[in-house]
Amino acid sequence: MTEKRNKTKSSLRDNKKLPLQTTSNSGAKASHVPMHDLVGEKLRAYYDQMANEPVPDRFELLLKQLEAKNKEEKSA
Amino acid sequence: MTISDKFREDLLAAIPGLRAFGISLTSRTDRADDLLQETLMKAWKHHDSFQPGTNMKAWLYTILRNEFYSQIRKRSREVEDAEGAFAGKVEVPPEQHGHLDMADFRSALALLPEDQREAIVLVGASGFSYEEAADICKVAVGTIKSRVNRARNRLSEVLQLDESHNAKLLHQTHAPARRLYPPVD
């Protein structure tokens, strides 16, 4: 419970700005222990299916629009 | 400040994983897509706060996660727990006839508190180390580990994946999941 409260509090605070760069442990794989049990298997199957779903076009379109806007602003 | 092609390409490449993370958090594709849209726009707008060469994936997942909690707070202000999914109160246990499909798994995941759900997804499926997940969730590594363990135990209980069922289930999980997304009401 306390843990949950703390988390909510910290995400409240953090959300006011963009996350700071995650630097300290990025890339550290030391304690990456893949879950070899059935739960881990099911979870990965579930997740991989979602990640392999076709992504709606709107996101690629959005990036293109943002890029176009960016170029426009630069040339203005 | 120009936005490099690399930044755009990396952003594009991260979309499927981010979307899967969003669906895992919200249990809903439409909400996940809203989260993803916000995430892409924020990442684009604040591209200069990203240092090239550092972990872009972790940066993006952090943005999406923050957006998720921000929307929960917004929602709970608007409607007092109208839907329950966010509060982990969806009391729809997966069907217990031994056939475990993706919809079952998603319902089981939705039963977990958010902090456990995000922990097990980041570590167990998104490919982050405990340290990276701790960075993303802004908690200690030990906290992530204990959340992952609790999530794993709960899922195993709800899905009846404990030892006594293992042998049976191993033979029954080859049926293809017909649909990934049940109709949303």
Q: Which of the two residues, A30 and A71, has the higher pLDDT score?
A: A71
Angstrom distance (rounded) from CA B39 to CA A63: 11
Query: With an 8 Å Cβ cutoff, are B138 and A66 in contact?
Result: no
Q: What is the mean pLDDT of chain A?
A: 69
Torsion sign (Cα): B32, B42, A52, B121: negative
pLDDT lower than 50: segments of chain B: 88-99, 174-182
- Provide the percentage of residues in chain A whose pLDDT is more than 90: 28
With CB atoms and an 8 Å threshold, state whether A47 touches B16: no
Chain A residues in contact with B28 by the CB 8 A cut-off are none
Taking CB atoms and an 8 Å limit, are B124 and A40 in contact across chains?
yes
Q: Residue A76: exposed, middle, or buried by beta-carbon count in 10 A (0-12, 13-18, 19+)?
A: exposed
The pLDDT of residue B161 is 77
Which residues on chain B are in Cβ contact (under 8 Å) with A57?
Answer: none
Look-up of token digits 């798994």: B105
Q: In angstroms, what CA-CA distances link B42 with A15, A23, A63, B36, B68?
A: 12, 19, 11, 10, 13
- Our CA-based measurement puts residue B153 at a distance from the nearest CA of chain A, in whole angstroms, of 9
pLDDT at B94: 43
For B181, which DSSP code? S
Q: For residue A1, with 0-12 CB atoms within 10 Å meaning exposed, 13-18 middle and 19 or more buried, which class applies?
A: exposed
Q: Which of residues 38-57 of A touch B (CB under 8 A)?
A: 38-40, 42-53, 55-56
For an interface test with A, give the residue of B8, B10, B99, B132 to mutate (most A CBs within 10 A).
B132
Which of B130, B157, B181 is best to mutate for the A interface (most A CBs within 10 A)? B130
**Residue A65 pLDDT > 70:** yes
pLDDT band at A35 (very low <50, low <70, confident <90, very high): low
A30 CB near a chain B CB, below 8 Å? yes
In this prediction, residues A53-63 reach a mean pLDDT of 91
At B100 the pLDDT is 54
| Nearest one of B126, B109, B141 to B61, comparing CA atoms | B126
Report field, pTM of the whole predicted structure over 0.90 = no
Establish, for the pair of chains A and B, how many residue pairs have beta carbons separated by less than 8 Å.
171
All residues of chain B having their beta carbon less than 8 Å from the beta carbon of residue A49 are 102, 177, 180
| Position A69 pLDDT exceeds 50 | yes
**Alpha carbons B40 and B171: distance in angstroms, whole number:** 41
- Tell me the one-letter amino acid at A35: M
A25/chain B closest Cα distance in angstroms: 6
Q: What is the pLDDT of residue B79?
A: 67
pLDDT tens column, B43-53: 999 998 998 88
